Amino acid sequence: MYQFSSKLKITAIALMVIGLIGIIISFASAPSTEAEAAEILAHQTDAHGAHGGDAHATKEISHDEHHEHADKDAHHADTTHDAHADHHAEEGHDAGHLAHVLHQLQNRPWAAFYVALFFFTFVTVVVFAFLNIQRVAQAGWSIVLFRVMEGISGFLPYVSVIFLGFLIITALHGNHLFVWMAEGTVDPSSPNFDPIIANKSGWLNVPRWLICSIIYLVGWNVFVYLNRKHSVLQDNASDLKNYYKNYKFGVAFLAFFIFTESMSVWDWIMGLDPHWFSTLFGWYVFATAVVSALTVIAMVTVYLKSKGYLEIVNNSHLHDLAKFMFGFSIFWTYLWFAQFMLIWYADMPEETTYFVQRFDEYKLLFLGMIPLNFILPVLMLVNSDFKRIPQIVLGTGTIILIGHYIDVFVMIMPATVGDQWGFGWGEVGSVLFFLGLFIYAVFTTISKAPLIAKGNPFLHESEHFHY
Amino acid sequence: MSTNKVIHALYNDDDVLMDAVKTVKEANHHIEEVFTPFPVHGLDKLLGLPHTRLAICAFIYGLCGLSFAIWMTNYMMIQDWPQDIGGKPNFAWIYNMPAFVPIMFELTVFFAAHLMVITFYMRSRLWPFKEAENPDPRTTDDIFLMEIPVEDNEEELTALLNTTNAVEIKVIEKH
């Protein structure tokens, strides 16, 4: 049995408290009026000016783009008032721009929280999916890691409660993350009317969105509960009844998951850019999550082994996990590039805007993902000997996790805060908060059952697994 | 070495062979060669054979392929005759890079795979019309054969091999 050390518990709680403080600061410092937004903007321009001409110029260009945007909107609204058109447009110009920036600045703490929330939720549910893949495939090597994976899955109920709360607040207009939820987007008489969103309102409507989201989360949690229950029951069972039940639940979960995974990604991520669509987006987000999930499994395993709790795990098990990290890093790159290259090649305006914005406003992060998520993992983990060294797996794993957090960041932020992004209290605080909660929940779950799933018929094979 | 004699010890099971290899190794005799009809897991480790470096070769060949692809696409599409083909940018190689990635990938794999296979053939001296070096045709079917050079210790070796459940022990003059 694993003993949750008090040192780790205090670390987890400290992370949660620091994270929470960061989140509160970010919410408190978000502007509530346009005047405050203008002040922040002025401050930004000053700061950038001090840093040098280039940064200043970029800022100015992006501002100009907003001006153009606002101009068009203003003209559109004023077309009927010919006499005052110019005057109004001039006023609408500034006001429209400020309103736009204000929304982005108000979105920032929410979006920062959402990035971390989504990342941790998805990674956890994919750890559970990986556990079920291992069960259904009757893998012989990974049985000694099942309790680690079950422990990580134990984080899902915690994060689901927060996610559910977040979804309900969003549905009740507590934030402006999803533009299609705004007032009047489907009402032809409203100045907010958006025919593209209106055409998609059969899918993009709040009741459907909320109900489906609840089905995904509750469904996943039910499977996590059933899996854990039968896994623990099997420990002291004299027959294999629970094992077979878990096998069947595994098959059912994977069937359920392949649909809900895709749909939840449409709802939770692609819905942020309701004018844009991509066919392989669901798999692409899955690829991000599965690399991170395997990394998390490897990291928790290495930690527990270093504390002497997983003596049966040998470096061949680590080798296999690292091989999966390596393989799925390439798989992620394949999907990332397939999505990018098809859109870049055809260059159809309605699809390309997605990448134009990311390339213009998030260039460092967008391009930085490639070395972090592809080049470094491939070069580090291509060597068979390196895959057996815990320090290398931990180091590469850290790079991979940072890279995939950035990936989620670049999925969510451009649609919600545009060029007003940064790494401040909210972003760092959210990650620390969820990291603390993750550590707390995972190691609490792990400490509640023996670290080796005794009743599994493949356990003997797994104990003697070597590659 | 005074003679060209070798001992062939034949076995009909891979586990027995492994035990025999261990016995002979422990008695500090040099094993010249082992012939088996199929790969015997762990035999190379027992014989103390060094790790293959074929994977390192493949990695380097892959880098060569990647470099070749980059050079080729750059020379053909950007340097030699930069045409506007469907609006694809050709001011510099990097602007059109995504279009070249499939070629870069395939050539990397092509070079890595083929050159590695050719390296393997050359290092293991395999080619068409090569004379087979099989000491006993049964080793391609169900017999395992261990070959040990004799250095004035024929009796001692035979006695040792007799303890290893060999189905047949032959002393052969090699040319």
* pLDDT of res. A32: 82
Q: What is the pTM of this model?
A: 0.88
In B69-108, the residues whose Cβ lies within 8 Å of chain A are 87, 98-99, 101
Nearest-CA distance B98 → chain A (Å): 6
Helix (H, G, I), strand (E, B) or coil at B35: strand
Spatial strand order in the sheet of B5-11: B33-35, B144-149, B5-11, B168-173
Say whether B154 sits in a helix, a strand or coil.
helix
User: Which residues of chain B neighbour A384 with C-beta distances below 8 Å?
Assistant: 55
Q: What is the model's pLDDT at position A31?
A: 85
Domain boundaries, chain A: 6-30+111-451
d(CA A267, CA A210): 9
Q: In terms of DSSP bridges, do strands B5-11 and B33-35 run parallel, antiparallel, or are they unpaired?
A: unpaired
Number of other residues whose CB lies within 10 A of the CB of residue B41:
9
Residues B15 and B63 reside in one and the same domain: no
CB under 8 A, 24+ apart: contacts of B36-40: B36/B139, B36/B144, B36/B145, B37/B139, B37/B140, B37/B141, B37/B142, B37/B143, B37/B144, B40/B14, B40/B144
Position A50 pLDDT exceeds 90 = no
B47 belongs to a structural domain: no
Contacts of A345 in chain B (CB under 8 A): 98-99
Q: How confident is the model at residue A82 (pLDDT cuts 50, 70, 90)?
A: very low
The boundaries of the domain holding residue B146 are 5-37+139-173
Amino acid identity for residue A63 in this structure: H
Per the DSSP assignment, residues forming a β-bridge with B149 are: B6
* Residue A93: predicted pLDDT: 59
User: Would you state the pLDDT for residue A84?
Assistant: 41
Q: Evaluate whether residue B46 is within a structural domain.
A: no
Q: Which residue of A has its CA nearest to B59?
A: A382
Average pLDDT, chain A: 88
Using CA atoms, how far apart are residues A112 and A434, in angstroms rounded to an integer? 12
From CA A94, how far away is CA A129, in angstroms rounded?
Answer: 50
Min Cα–Cα distance to chain B from A381, Å: 13
Contact yes or no for A345 and B99 at CB 8 A = yes
**Pair (B118, B143) in one structural domain:** no
User: Do residue B145 and residue B120 come from a single domain?
Assistant: no
Among A337, A347, A384, the residue with its CB nearest the CB of B101 is A337
The answer to whether A340 contacts chain B (CB < 8 Å) is yes
- Does residue B84 lie within any of the structural domains? yes
ipTM of the complex: 0.89
Can you tell me the distance from the alpha carbon of A464 to that of A461, in angstroms, rounded to the nearest whole number? 5
Q: How much is the pLDDT for A92?
A: 54
Asked if B59 and B114 sit in the same domain, the reply is yes
Instruction: Give the Cα separation of A264 and B92 in Å (integer).
Output: 40
Q: How confident is the model at residue A87 (pLDDT cuts 50, 70, 90)?
A: very low
Q: What is the per-residue pLDDT across B123-148, written as a single tens digit (0 to 9) for each?
A: 999 999 999 988 899 999 999 999 99
Give the pLDDT confidence of B9-36 residue by residue, as tens digits: 999 999 999 999 999 999 888 999 999 9
The predicted pLDDT at position A1 comes to 83
User: What pLDDT is stored for residue A81 in this prediction?
Assistant: 40
Radius of gyration, alpha carbons of chain A? 24
Q: Provide, rounded to the nearest whole percent, the portion of chain A with pLDDT above 70.
A: 89
| Cα dist from A221 to A161, A225, A228, whole Å | 10, 6, 11
**End-to-end CA gap in chain B:** 13
pLDDT over 90 percentage in chain A: 73
pLDDT surpasses 50 at A442: yes
With CB atoms and an 8 Å threshold, state whether A337 touches B99.
Answer: no
- Contact between B150 and B29 (Cβ < 8 Å): no
CB contact under 8 A, A347 and B101: no
Q: Do B98 and A337 touch (CB under 8 A)?
A: yes
Q: How near does any CA of chain A get to the CA of B93, in Å? A: 15
Chain B: give the shortest CA distance to residue A341, in Å.
Answer: 6
Residues of A in contact with B99 (CB under 8 A): 341, 345
Looking at the 3D structure of chain B, how many domains does it have? Answer: 2
What's the pLDDT score for residue A78?
39
Same domain, yes or no, for B115 and B143? no
Pick the residue with more confidence: A39 or A421?
A421
**What is the gyration radius of the CA atoms in chain B, in angstroms?**
26
Question: Could you tell me the end-to-end alpha-carbon distance of chain A, in angstroms, rounded to an integer?
Answer: 27
Nearest to B101 among A341, A347, A382 (CB): A341
pLDDT in tens, A359-374: 999 999 999 999 999 9
Q: Which pLDDT belongs to residue B3?
A: 62
Backbone torsions φ then ψ of A5, nearest 5 degrees? -70, 145
Least confident piece of the model among A33-37, B60-64, B103-107: A33-37
| Residue B152 pLDDT | 82
Distance CA B34, CA B30 (A): 11
Residue B80 and residue B33 share a domain: no
Q: What residue of B is the nearest CA neighbor of A345?
A: B99
> At residue A83, does pLDDT exceed 60?
no
How far apart, in whole angstroms, are the C-alpha atoms of residue A97 and residue B44? Answer: 72
Q: What pLDDT does residue B95 have?
A: 93
More confident residue, A361 or A98: A361
By residue count, chain B amounts to: 175
In chain B, which residue's Cα lies nearest the Cα of A379? B59
- Report the pLDDT averaged over residues A331-342: 96
Query: Is residue B130 in some structural domain?
Result: no
Q: Is the pLDDT of residue A22 over 70?
A: yes
CATH of the domain at B152: 3.30.70.260
One-letter identity of residue A112:
A
Confidence class of residue B121 from pLDDT cuts 50, 70 and 90? very high
Q: pLDDT digits over B80-101, tens only?
A: 999 999 999 999 999 999 999 9
pLDDT band at B154 (very low <50, low <70, confident <90, very high): confident
- Predicted local confidence at residue A37, as pLDDT: 81
Cα-flanking dihedrals φ and ψ of residue B131, to 5°? Answer: -70, 130
pLDDT of A94 above 90: no
Measure in Å the smallest separation between the Cα of B140 and chain A Cα atoms.
Answer: 27
Q: pLDDT tens digits, residue range A229-261?
A: 999 999 988 899 999 999 999 999 999 999 999
Q: Using a CB-CB distance cutoff of 8 angstroms, which residues of chain B are in contact with residue A347?
A: 87
pLDDT for res A13? 96
